[in-house]
Structures are given as C-alpha cells and as structure tokens.
Structure 1
C-alpha cells in the first residue's frame, strides 16, 4: 500500500476542511483526485506531504506515518504544489543542481531527470524566460529528482494551453508507468482523469462522495441515443427494444432513448427501424460524461 488514509479530519477553527476521510492507493496506481474549489483536495495533499498536520485520524505514505516519520515521508514523495514555487532568477540546470545538493544526489541524476522531462533544450535558460509549460516541466523534474516512489501533483496543468496540456499529461503518464510510480493527481480537467488515471476519487465539502476505477465507472454510464424517424412512433413500441430503460419524445419525430448497457445500441435501433418500415433521418450516440457525474455528486449536498 503506497498511500493509506484513515479517518482524517482537518479543522481550521470551527470550519471542517476534511471530515473523516478514508481511502488507500496501491503501488503503481494513478488516481485522479477531483473536487470543486474548497472541497479539501489541497488540504489532503498537504497533509500527505507533511506540510499540514491533521486534526484527527492517521495517514501513511509507504508505511511511514505523516505525523511521526515526516523525514521518511518526504524522502518517499515527489510533490508538485498548485502554485509551482521556482527561483525565477536561476537557470534550469542550476536550480535542479541546487535542489539535488539538498537531497545529496549526484549531479548525474540531474542530467537524467532533465532528459526524462524533456528539458534539455531549455536547460541553460533562466527559469523566468521559460513558458508556463516548461516551468511545469521544471517543477515535475524537481519532484522526480530524488526518485520518489509516490508523486503528489496538485493541479499540474493549470494555465497551460492545449498543446502544453497534452505534453505535460503525456509526460506524467510516461514517467508514472515506466517507473511504476504511484500518482495522486488533483485536477479540474475531467478529460485528463480519463486519459491518465486508473481510478477517480471525488471529494465534496470535505467528504469522499465517489471512489471507483475508471473502467468500472464507464460501465455505469447510461447510454443515450438520439434518433429522428420519418414518422411518429408509439413510445410503447420503442420500449420493446432490448435493454432500453426509458423513452422520451423531445420534439417532432425525435426521440431520446436511454439504455443501461455499455454496448453501442445504434445498430439495434437501426434494426428496429428497418423491421418497422421506418427511415432514420439522424442517429446520435451520447454518453453521460465524468463531467456530468462530477456535477451531480458535488451539487446535491
């Protein structure tokens, strides 16, 4: 078990930022940690990286207690905070070498991490002259310097343009999978979670409201098919289509059909139209996205 969180609560005065939070992450898992602003994501990450002390409960990283064995936790974790703290007047290689000296890491490791994170073309530039995407690479390189088993990344792609976002996303995935690192990734970008993560944890108002593997989540998505026929069809007839759960006429000859299956049902709808002498004017498949699920779970409380 790389990360173990048991009944963690955190109070700021009378305000409860985290309320009895419990979850665990296995070695090699990449987990998306989602929640609206103020949900407790950053607080949880700061507790796991020993920057904050929990009010109640226990958390461990690589079996080291975050409250009792802080130094070993810090050795085990590579942390990229939301606001990437960099010395802008330092050169890239100089900055990484400075941090390597703190960890007592050989200079050869600096060169390895520069190459691994694609910083070689920018290594002799001042950090202040780098784009936001390359600054994030520097932050990630710094988090990887001491070859930690666990990466905790708080909003690593915030403020990036679409191309930079894809580059950093692929970099995180490559680094994590090639070295079998455990990753806890906080983000507001749902596509990022679906593209990178094995599992998603959603937190709302300091409490876990969902904890599922991405592959299991996709199986639970309702499938919506919007179809337009050339004639009006009785809803009762449409309800005879296999695995259909509901039918809604949304105007004219257009119907929204809901199915409880992960299989693409468009061919079945086409067969229904053929068997009943109907023509299909349009046929579109829609899926309930993680974004919609997120909205439902974080607005119902």
Structure 2
C-alpha cells in the first residue's frame, strides 16, 4: 500500500547559487517517515549545501523546504527541536569528557538527564564517557557527534558523511547504529555519502545528485530494477545461430561471437541451449551479466563511485 502521509522532508525547486553558479539546482526531495534516505553523489555535488538548507543553516536562492509538513521559514525553531544533525564534523569541547559534553547539550536544551546515558549506550561510548573528548579516536568523536544529535531523541536525524575518514571497523559500527534507529527509536534518517557501497548497505531509499541536480530518487529496489540482466551465449558460428533462433521467434543481439538476450527466464535459457546443440552448434559458454549499481551510478553521474 502506498504511503499516503506527507513526506517528513520535502523540497520544491530548491536552489542555491554562489557567484552565478548553481551549487544546487531545482532539487525536489521527498523523504518518507521511517526511511533511511541515502543522499549519494561525488564530492562537490551539492549534498552538504542541500542538507544545510534543510536545517536553515543557509538560505536557499529559490525554492521551499518543508519538514514535518511545515514550512521551514515559518516554523524553524519548532522543526529544529525535533531534528538532530551532524554536518561536516562533530563540534565538542576537547577539554571536557564525553559525558560532560553531553551534559552541556542536555542543559542547554532542557532535556531529561536520563537521555545522556541512553545515547551513550546507543553509540557504545558508555565505557569511555569519562575520557576527555580530545583523547577520543576519530570514530569515537564521530559517535559522540551522533550521540549529541540523538540526545533529544528526534523524529528526524540528518547526517553529513557520517563515516568519512573512519577505518572499516568504525564504518561498520556507524552503519549498524544507523540501521537500528528507524525500527528501535522511530527515527527517520537522512544521510549523505560519496560512497555507493555505503549507501547500498544502509539505505532503504536513495537520491543521486551530481552538479547540483537530482538525477534519481526512489527505493533501492527501484534503482536495482534498472539493472537489466543480460544472458550471453557464446558459439563458434553466431550468424548461423542467429538464423536458427530467429526462425523460432527469438531476436538476439549479436556481439562478436556472442548472442545477447535480456530478461530471459531460466527455462528459455535451457531451451535455446538445447536448440542450438541439436542443430549441431556447440554452446561454449552461457553467462549472466547484471549491470552493477556502480555502473548505474557511473552512467548517471559520469564519475567514479568514490571521488
């Protein structure tokens, strides 16, 4: 059943121009409640600029932002009370412990004291809470930043490149943490990344941006559905094989010594193979090829998956 409730985050023709150059151009985002929305694009594509506009940190040149169905311009304090964010890199006081940093934030925002221990547990910093933040590893600093963003247990969490600069173990920890948030805490997550592999493993839906333009938006399944499966048959006489198959109503594409088909069920693969062999044409290889998400990303952006 289609989700009929309004998107938790919605933008209309969102644009930002610096010196006559569009950093973000007519972006129409729609993030549904409960999603992990992966905002994917090469560095410099306009991801951080867009996220900053969602939080009102920079003003759009054109367009509108709605969060929780409300206009950001008119309801910003109310919206931000229910939104957590980590943009670019975490802000903290290095001379204070992890716990003390959270205590400052908790008092500033008049939040329940018990939230501190709760978020420390979620980000797995409870055993390091009395250590000075300056002595934290990069991954621990990132987790402290996420703990601060989670402190009010917001409905919406916006994270800008949350795994940037982390080692594989740190990336895995942050990934598992983010994946748990919608189900366990009812938090919708919007996160940006320039790593396709990251978004692929974590997001339920994705928006692909390049040069400030939104090139794709939809579920991960709909992006993967764009992967057409190709079946390749290799045979010593492709021209004769093509004639035989055409007489049976098939229209293969010939490429070198191979015949290419798209969307061929298994039983038809087996039938074509038998047909050619019975006609005295050996099939030396049958291959299934699926366009990877990397290739789709590359075609959309014209750039490598990680830049």
Task: Tell me whether the two structures share a fold, i.e. TM-score over 0.5.
Answer: yes
Given the alignment, which residue of 91, 101, 104 partners 1:98? 104
Counterpart in the other structure of 2:253? 246
Checking the alignment, whether the CA contact within 8 Å between 2:181 and 2:188 is kept in structure 1 is no
Counterpart in the other structure of 2:276? 276
Shift of 1:141: 1.0
Shift of 1:243: 8.6
Checking the alignment, whether the CA contact within 8 Å between 2:229 and 2:291 is kept in structure 1 is yes
Checking the alignment, whether the CA contact within 8 Å between 1:157 and 1:168 is kept in structure 2 is yes
Checking the alignment, whether the CA contact within 8 Å between 1:4 and 1:24 is kept in structure 2 is yes
Tell me if 1:39 matches 2:42: no
Change (3 A) 1:186 1:237: farther
Shift of 1:151: 1.0
Shift of 1:35: 1.7
Checking the alignment, whether the CA contact within 8 Å between 2:40 and 2:194 is kept in structure 1 is yes
Q: 1:240-286 deviations in whole A, cap 9, x for unaligned?
A: 6999863423xxx6x4735247x6x5x75455334533766665533
Aligned equivalents of 1:94, 1:197: Cα separation in 2: 32
Counterpart in the other structure of 2:113? 107
Tell me if 1:221 matches 2:227: yes
3-state SS of paired residue (2:11) = strand
Counterpart in the other structure of 2:192? 186
Tell me if 1:165 matches 2:171: yes
Shift of 1:92: 1.1
Checking the alignment, whether the CA contact within 8 Å between 2:90 and 2:144 is kept in structure 1 is no
Change (3 A) 1:58 1:228: same
Checking the alignment, whether the CA contact within 8 Å between 2:43 and 2:194 is kept in structure 1 is no
Aligned equivalents of 2:28, 2:252: Cα separation in 1: 35
Aligned equivalents of 1:179, 1:232: Cα separation in 2: 61
Change (3 A) 1:6 1:280: same
Aligned equivalents of 2:10, 2:238: Cα separation in 1: 55
Tell me if 1:136 matches 2:136: no
Shift of 1:172: 0.2
Q: 1:62-118 deviations in whole A, cap 9, x for unaligned?
A: 133222222112112111112233333321111111111111112211001111121
Checking the alignment, whether the CA contact within 8 Å between 1:239 and 1:247 is kept in structure 2 is no
Unaligned runs of 5+ in 1: none
Tell me if 1:24 matches 2:30: yes
TM-score of the pair, normalised by structure 2: 0.84
Tell me if 1:150 matches 2:153: no
Aligned equivalents of 1:195, 1:239: Cα separation in 2: 40
Given the alignment, which residue of 120, 124, 148 partners 2:126? 120
Aligned equivalents of 1:188, 1:289: Cα separation in 2: 17
TM-score of the pair, normalised by structure 1: 0.86
Change (3 A) 1:205 1:106: same
Checking the alignment, whether the CA contact within 8 Å between 2:227 and 2:292 is kept in structure 1 is yes
3-state SS of paired residue (1:153) = strand
Aligned equivalents of 1:90, 1:227: Cα separation in 2: 65
Shift of 1:227: 5.6
Tell me if 1:75 matches 2:81: yes
Shift of 1:127: 2.1
3-state SS of paired residue (2:29) = strand
Checking the alignment, whether the CA contact within 8 Å between 2:14 and 2:26 is kept in structure 1 is yes
Tell me if 1:259 matches 2:247: no
